[in-house]
């Protein structure tokens, strides 16, 4: 796709990998974020891809935005950059596929913001996460203050944002920022294997994701109506018919789904 971000499809059945690849530490440039948006636009209409892994490779996930762009910013252009960055991460967050970040090394600043825009985060034992922007006289500008608070709670988010400190894998797991910890050399394979499990799931995964994401922004009374709408949409899928029939005839957990 772009020089520093790559899309590889069918690394396993129905699984694609988005790879951040900008030496030395995958600093996220404006061009990379625009390319990420374009990749997400492509994946959003790709019915053959049913799960996506985001990775920075063996050494680092992403050490943040490209700070070399910042000296030229004014208040206005900085806000435009933040809006562009957020648009790209909303495109990632809203992908219909299940998304997993595989975090080796550092996921800092914009790198953490990319990771928390995916459904799940799997981290290496030596992984480090943080939002150190306060040390530059800044705050996170790619949704970090918002998604981190929703994941880890307001107090933990304030601690990380106000101090700029890094958290290790164990602390990230304890605070629900990540879902599992892995050997660094086995992380990517583990993430692809987990994605492959979701790739065999029913079309209802898309409805479940939509219900959760849309419902989070609504009062409960309105959110359950969103859930009801997505529940109804399941009954228009082949997988629902297959799953119900299989349950009636063979019991739970025996259905083979097509993703349609």
For residues 251-259, give the mean pLDDT: 89
Claim to verify: residue 43 and residue 123 sit in the same structural domain? yes
pLDDT at 253 over 90: no
Claim to verify: residue 101 and residue 218 sit in the same structural domain? no
Question: Residue 17's pLDDT band (boundaries 50, 70, 90)?
Answer: very high
Question: Does the annotation mark 76 as catalytic?
Answer: no
Question: Does the annotation mark 222 as catalytic?
Answer: no
Question: How confident is the prediction for the chain on average, in pLDDT?
Answer: 96
Q: Is the Cβ–Cβ distance between 117 and 68 less than 8 Å?
A: no
Note whether residue 228 is domain-resident: yes
Claim to verify: residue 65 and residue 21 sit in the same structural domain? yes
Q: Is the Cβ–Cβ distance between 213 and 183 less than 8 Å?
A: no
Claim to verify: residue 87 and residue 111 sit in the same structural domain? yes
CB half-sphere exposure, 241, CA atoms < 13 A: 5
Claim to verify: residue 42 and residue 132 sit in the same structural domain? yes
* Closest among 100, 157, 104, 150 to 130, alpha carbons compared: 157
| C-alpha distances in Å from residue 197, one per residue of 15, 50, 190, 193, 213 | 10, 10, 11, 6, 21
Q: pTM to 2 decimals? A: 0.95
Note whether residue 260 is domain-resident: no
Final residue in a domain of this structure, among 175, 199, 223? 199
Claim to verify: residue 185 and residue 134 sit in the same structural domain? yes
| Structural domains counted in the chain | 2
% of the chain exceeding 70 in pLDDT: 100
Q: What is the pLDDT of residue 142?
A: 98
Note whether residue 175 is domain-resident: yes
Catalytic residue among 113, 125, 170, 249: 113
pLDDT at 201 over 70: yes
- Look up the domain containing 79 and give its range: 5-199
Claim to verify: residue 172 and residue 220 sit in the same structural domain? no
Q: Which helix (H) or strand (E) holds 88?
A: helix 75-93
Q: Is the Cβ–Cβ distance between 139 and 195 less than 8 Å?
A: no
Claim to verify: residue 120 and residue 232 sit in the same structural domain? no
Catalytic residue among 133, 222, 227, 249: 133
CA 245/CA 86 separation, integer angstroms: 42
Q: Strand pairing of 15-20 and 51-55? A: parallel
Note whether residue 94 is domain-resident: yes
Claim to verify: residue 245 and residue 172 sit in the same structural domain? no
Q: What is the pLDDT of residue 2?
A: 78
CA 123/CA 169 separation, integer angstroms: 6
Task: Return the ∠ at Cα 141 (arms to 45 and 66), rounded to 5°.
Answer: 85
List pLDDT tens digits, range 23-73: 889 999 999 999 999 999 999 999 999 999 999 988 999 999 999 999 999
Note whether residue 259 is domain-resident: no
Note whether residue 258 is domain-resident: no
Claim to verify: residue 169 and residue 215 sit in the same structural domain? no
Q: What is the pLDDT of residue 12?
A: 85
Claim to verify: residue 227 and residue 152 sit in the same structural domain? no
pLDDT at 210 over 90: yes
Claim to verify: residue 194 and residue 219 sit in the same structural domain? no
Question: Residue 1's pLDDT band (boundaries 50, 70, 90)?
Answer: low
């Amino acid at each position: 796709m772009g020089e520093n971000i790559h899309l590889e499809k069918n690394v396993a059945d129905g699984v694609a990998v988005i790879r951040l690849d900008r030496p030395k530490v995958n600093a996220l440039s404006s061009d990379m974020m625009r390319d990420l948006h374009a990749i997400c636009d492509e994946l959003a209409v790709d019915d053959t891809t049913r799960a996506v892994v985001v990775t920075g490779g063996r050494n680092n996930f992403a050490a943040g935005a490209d700070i070399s762009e910042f000296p030229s910013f004014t208040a206005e252009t900085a806000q435009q950059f933040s809006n562009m960055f957020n648009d790209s991460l909303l495109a990632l967050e809203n992908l219909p596929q299940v998304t997993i970040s595989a975090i080796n090394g550092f996921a800092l600043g914009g790198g953490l913001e990319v990771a928390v825009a995916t459904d799940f985060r799997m981290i290496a034992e030596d992984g480090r996460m943080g939002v150190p922007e306060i040390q530059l006289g800044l705050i996170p500008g790619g949704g970090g203050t918002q998604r981190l608070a929703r994941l880890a709670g307001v107090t933990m988010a304030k601690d990380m944002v106000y101090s700029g400190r890094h958290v290790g894998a164990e602390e990230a797991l304890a605070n629900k920022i990540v879902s599992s910890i892995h050997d660094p050399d086995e992380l990517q394979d583990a993430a692809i294997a987990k994605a492959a499990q979701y790739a065999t799931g029913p079309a209802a995964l898309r409805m479940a994701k939509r219900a959760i994401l849309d419902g989070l922004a609504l009062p409960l009374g309105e959110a359950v109506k969103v859930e009801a709408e997505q529940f109804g949409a399941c009954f228009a899928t082949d997988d629902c018919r297959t799953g119900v029939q299989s349950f009636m005839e063979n019991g739970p957990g025996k259905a083979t789904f097509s993703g349609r």
